[in-house]
Amino acid sequence: MNRSSTHAALVLAVRPYGESNREAVFLTEDAGLVRATVFGGPKSKLRAYVAPFHSGEMFIYHDPVKNYRKITDFAVDAWRPGLRESLERSYAAAAIAETVIAGFGGGGSWPEAMALCRDTLDALDGADETGCRSSVVRFLWKWTELLGAAPDLECCIDCACFPPPDEVVWYSRSDGGIVCGRCAPRRDRAGSVELGPGARAWLRAVTGADAKTALRIGAASLPLRQAKEAALAAAAEAVGTRLKTWNLLGGN
Ligand SMILES: [Zn+2]
């Protein structure tokens, strides 16, 4: 049995493990989430390579008897140093990593999950404060799509009508879909998020574009806030919980 293998991988999280070693969590393209030990003290090269949000080719050794995995090398192809240059960027990247871990790496759609993460992190590497927020909102919406739980923004779940683009609709947290302006009065507003025409148009535009292009699609603060609330609600349904790192997204 071949105990060594290589994988296209992204480092999601690293934590201390034992006296001078670390344990890292990776998203891989062909094996989903992988946890492995990284040996070496603060001056080790490998430790510098295996740092959050680096991606590249991971070389891993697996002992199936002890069910033990260690990283033997990591050839970094993207370092993304900009993610460490501002608090907003590191919060945004951490929110993405936590979402991926909570969503089991994308539930089997690993190549798509990897492409979405890499694309989003590359955009975040140079994003300003608003860009960080909008990138995470876009990411959360795309992540619910990946998990097969994306809300349909075009069709009312109560009457099956297609509200015109200029109509205000409500996103229902409990039903995971939108309710049109005529059906909304019959529903409990507390469980709903208002989505104005701007928020729906913005979500449609950014989810149809790559992450860097999406950064150039501006949004006023109200539509972005509405889109954020709907994305957080949809992602919480898809992942099964509202993650702590999402609360660090500012702009309320
Ligand atoms: Zn309706």
Phi, then psi, of 159 in degrees rounded to 5: -120, 0
Among 219, 239, 216, 209, smallest CA distance to 140 is for 239
Query: What's the total number of domains in the chain?
Result: 2
pLDDT of residue 127: 96
Q: Measure 161 CA to ligand 1 centroid, in angstroms.
A: 6
CA dist 178 to 111, 155, 156, 166, 192, Å?
30, 7, 5, 14, 9
Q: Looking at the structure, do residues 64 and 93 belong to the same domain, yes or no?
A: no
Among 56, 15, 62, smallest CA distance to 34 is for 62
pLDDT of residue 1: 54
Q: 123: number of CA atoms within 13 Å, CB side?
A: 27
Q: Looking at the structure, do residues 107 and 210 belong to the same domain, yes or no?
A: yes
Q: Looking at the structure, do residues 171 and 103 belong to the same domain, yes or no?
A: yes
SS3 at position 82: helix
Q: Looking at the structure, do residues 65 and 96 belong to the same domain, yes or no?
A: no
Relative orientation angle of helices 221-239 and 87-102, to the nearest 10 degrees: 30
Residue 114 CB-density burial (10 A; 0-12 exposed, 13-18 middle, 19+ buried): buried
Q: Structure tokens of 26? A: 């990776």
Q: Measure 171 CA to ligand 1 centroid, in angstroms.
A: 12
In terms of DSSP H, where are the helices of 125-220?
A: 129-146, 197-207, 211-215
Q: Measure 198 CA to ligand 1 centroid, in angstroms.
A: 19
Q: Measure 186 CA to ligand 1 centroid, in angstroms.
A: 10
Type of residue found at 79: W
Q: Measure 238 CA to ligand 1 centroid, in angstroms.
A: 24
Query: Which of 78, 107, 137 is the endpoint of a domain?
Result: 78
- Beta strand pairing call for 4-17 and 192-195: unpaired
Q: Measure 165 CA to ligand 1 centroid, in angstroms.
A: 14
Residue 55 sits in a domain whose CATH number is 2.40.50.140
Q: Measure 167 CA to ligand 1 centroid, in angstroms.
A: 11
Q: Looking at the structure, do residues 71 and 34 belong to the same domain, yes or no?
A: yes
Q: Measure 176 CA to ligand 1 centroid, in angstroms.
A: 14
Q: Looking at the structure, do residues 188 and 64 belong to the same domain, yes or no?
A: no
Q: Measure 149 CA to ligand 1 centroid, in angstroms.
A: 20
Question: Does some domain include residue 36?
Answer: yes
Q: Measure 194 CA to ligand 1 centroid, in angstroms.
A: 14
In terms of DSSP H, where are the helices of the chain?
A: 45-49, 87-102, 110-124, 129-146, 197-207, 211-215, 221-239
What pTM, to 2 d.p., does this model score?
A: 0.94
Structural domain for 8, as ranges: 4-78
- Beta strand pairing call for 68-78 and 169-172: unpaired
Question: Does some domain include residue 103?
Answer: yes
User: How far is residue 51's CA from residue 239's CA, in Å, rounded to a whole number?
Assistant: 25
Q: Looking at the structure, do residues 67 and 91 belong to the same domain, yes or no?
A: no
Question: Does some domain include residue 251?
Answer: no
Q: Measure 169 CA to ligand 1 centroid, in angstroms.
A: 9
Q: Looking at the structure, do residues 157 and 226 belong to the same domain, yes or no?
A: yes
Q: Measure 179 CA to ligand 1 centroid, in angstroms.
A: 5
Q: Measure 29 CA to ligand 1 centroid, in angstroms.
A: 41
Q: Measure 59 CA to ligand 1 centroid, in angstroms.
A: 53
- Provide block-wise average pLDDT over 10 residues at a time, the chain (252 residues): 89 92 96 94 90 98 91 97 95 96 84 97 96 96 92 95 96 92 88 93 96 92 94 92 84 53
